[in-house]
Amino acid sequence: MKNSVPLYIIFHLLAFISLSANDKELLSQEKQNLLLQEQNRYESEYEKLRYNWIAPLNLGASYGYDKVYTGDYGTTSNISVSISQDIFRSGGITYQIEYADAKKRVDEIALAKEIAAINEELFSALLNYKKTLYQKKQSELILKNKEIEIFIKRQLYDVGKADITELNNALMAQSDELKNLVTHKYMLAQLREEVSKLSDVDPAVFLLPKFTLIEKETYLQNNLNLNFLRLQTKSYESLYSVTKSSYMPSVTLSANVGYQEYDSKKYENKYDGNYYGARVMLNVPFTYNATATTQEAKASYLKQAAQVADMYRNTKASYTQSIELIESYRSYNEITLKNLSLYDELIEAIEAGVNTGEKTGYDLQTIKNTKAIEELNIKLSEINIQIELAKLHFALKRNDDGQ
């Protein structure tokens, strides 16, 4: 039993290290399989796109019956191999390969975005689970103070030193807080289910990592959404070049080789032999919609390039908003820490009053509960900071070394 806690800590630390290097580690087996199939899909598509300019090698065989005007008739057997391959497309072959490579990079980062989004959802649920636990503890402490308040109000009411309104208000406040406690318990159950949809980790015992602040330049350079749009712009540029080259001259090499046999049924005549042929063709397409189609592809590329600039602006603003929110939580904590030092002084004074009989134990317990509530407020702010830092963390492209 002594080694169980350290081993558990080591297990989760290793799990988080794996998460940085391979963001699928903490996800359920079903999610991992789904993501694996998506990877298999785009890798197969990549092979298709990169080599679809290579013409197929056609194998043919035929057997037929023929009758000609001379009166001869017979059967013909034929077997052949042929190919018709573009050897020049005004740069189209190179553009096609470039487009396939760019499309694969887009698909890779799209998958990375999907993994990051799932992990952000998972860690958001885990952090909110811990946050709700703190809120539940706060609610329980508030209820303890409400019980003391109701007891005192009832005693005062019984001796005529408080009216029924004060007692009623205390009872209503207790009822409202009991409802809050029920809500926190429900939220814990809901968050547990949210985690179970994504992972097999237990939110009650999972050791959360501590996310750290990411520098602005690093955030903008490695941001997944920005990199996705940048790579997608390159793929649109390559696709525009492919579209443009499809309306330009191309050269095709055609070749065939085969064997043919003819067997006359009227005459004692039979011949067979090999044959082959080759030719080069120049194709110059004249298409009515060529200009419109090309301009459409160009407009899509330029629009995508404009979206990168727009996304960069939004990403900078979002980063600044997160930093400002984090700073506000830190300011809350500074204020609360100052209040805690005042509570310490107050508790010391009340303890002295209790010892001399000037104060009651209820006063002391109430102020201690209030201090504990404030201490939990600090933990809640720290969780809120971690939620914001997690958003920044999972918005970044992870390198192989986890940085």
pLDDT at 261 over 90: no
Q: Can you tell me the distance from the alpha carbon of 235 to that of 233, in angstroms, rounded to the nearest whole number?
A: 5
pLDDT score recorded for residue 4: 42
Residues of the domain holding 268? 54-88+250-283
pTM: 0.81
pLDDT score recorded for residue 194: 95
Q: Are residues 277 and 167 in the same domain?
A: no
Residue percentage of the chain with pLDDT more than 70: 90
pLDDT score recorded for residue 198: 94
Last residue of a domain, one of 232, 262, 283: 283
| 6-14 mean pLDDT | 44
Q: Is residue 261 part of a domain?
A: yes
pLDDT score recorded for residue 21: 34
If residue 243 lies in a helix (H) or strand (E), which one and from where to where?
Answer: helix 224-245
Q: Are residues 136 and 182 in the same domain?
A: yes
- Name the residue type at position 173: A
| Dihedral of alpha carbons 149, 152, 156, 161, sign | negative
Q: Are residues 110 and 46 in the same domain?
A: yes
Q: Is residue 201 part of a domain?
A: yes
| 132-141 mean pLDDT | 97
Q: Is residue 400 part of a domain?
A: no
Q: Are residues 218 and 348 in the same domain?
A: yes
Q: Is residue 151 part of a domain?
A: yes
Q: Can you tell me the distance from the alpha carbon of 120 to that of 393, in angstroms, rounded to the nearest whole number?
A: 9
- Asked if 231 contacts 42 with a C-beta cutoff of 8 angstroms, the reply is no
- Asked if 238 contacts 262 with a C-beta cutoff of 8 angstroms, the reply is no
- 279 forms beta bridges with 254
- Residue pLDDT, tens place only, 193-210: 999 999 999 999 999 999
Which structure tokens are listed for 349?
């004074």
Place of tokens 């539940």: 136
First to last CA, the chain: 35
Q: Are residues 356 and 305 in the same domain?
A: yes
Place of tokens 């958003």: 391
SS3 content of the chain, % helix, strand, coil (to 5): 65, 15, 20
- Asked if 293 contacts 233 with a C-beta cutoff of 8 angstroms, the reply is no
Q: Are residues 326 and 361 in the same domain?
A: yes
Last residue of a domain, one of 258, 283, 308: 283
pLDDT score recorded for residue 335: 94
Q: Is residue 135 part of a domain?
A: yes
- Asked if 244 contacts 233 with a C-beta cutoff of 8 angstroms, the reply is no
- Asked if 275 contacts 308 with a C-beta cutoff of 8 angstroms, the reply is no
pLDDT at 267 over 80: no
Distances (CA, A) of 345 to 145, 254, 339, 352, 357: 20, 96, 10, 11, 18
- Residue pLDDT, tens place only, 147-160: 999 999 998 888 88
- Name the residue type at position 221: Q
Query: What is the domain-level CATH number for residue 344?
Result: 1.20.1600.10
Q: Can you tell me the distance from the alpha carbon of 308 to that of 15, in angstroms, rounded to the nearest whole number?
A: 34
Domain count, the chain: 2
| 237-250 mean pLDDT | 87
Mean confidence (pLDDT) of the chain: 87
Q: Are residues 273 and 374 in the same domain?
A: no
| Range with lowest mean pLDDT among 114-118, 160-164, 207-211 | 160-164
pLDDT at 6 over 50: no
Q: Taking each helix axis from N to C terminus, what angle separates 164-198 and 92-158, rounded to the nearest 10 degrees?
A: 150
Q: Are residues 83 and 195 in the same domain?
A: no
Q: Is residue 398 part of a domain?
A: no
- Asked if 19 contacts 393 with a C-beta cutoff of 8 angstroms, the reply is no
Which structure tokens are listed for 88?
């020049």
pLDDT at 306 over 80: yes
| Range with lowest mean pLDDT among 12-26, 97-111, 317-331 | 12-26
- Asked if 21 contacts 400 with a C-beta cutoff of 8 angstroms, the reply is yes
Last residue of a domain, one of 231, 261, 283: 283
Q: Are residues 96 and 73 in the same domain?
A: no
- Residue pLDDT, tens place only, 330-375: 999 999 999 998 999 899 898 888 888 888 888 899 999 999 999 9
Query: What is the domain-level CATH number for residue 271?
Result: 2.20.200
Backbone angles phi, psi at 88, to 5 degrees: -155, 130
- Residue pLDDT, tens place only, 165-188: 988 999 999 999 999 999 999 999
Q: Are residues 318 and 256 in the same domain?
A: no
Q: Are residues 299 and 279 in the same domain?
A: no
Q: Are residues 94 and 193 in the same domain?
A: yes
- Asked if 213 contacts 390 with a C-beta cutoff of 8 angstroms, the reply is no
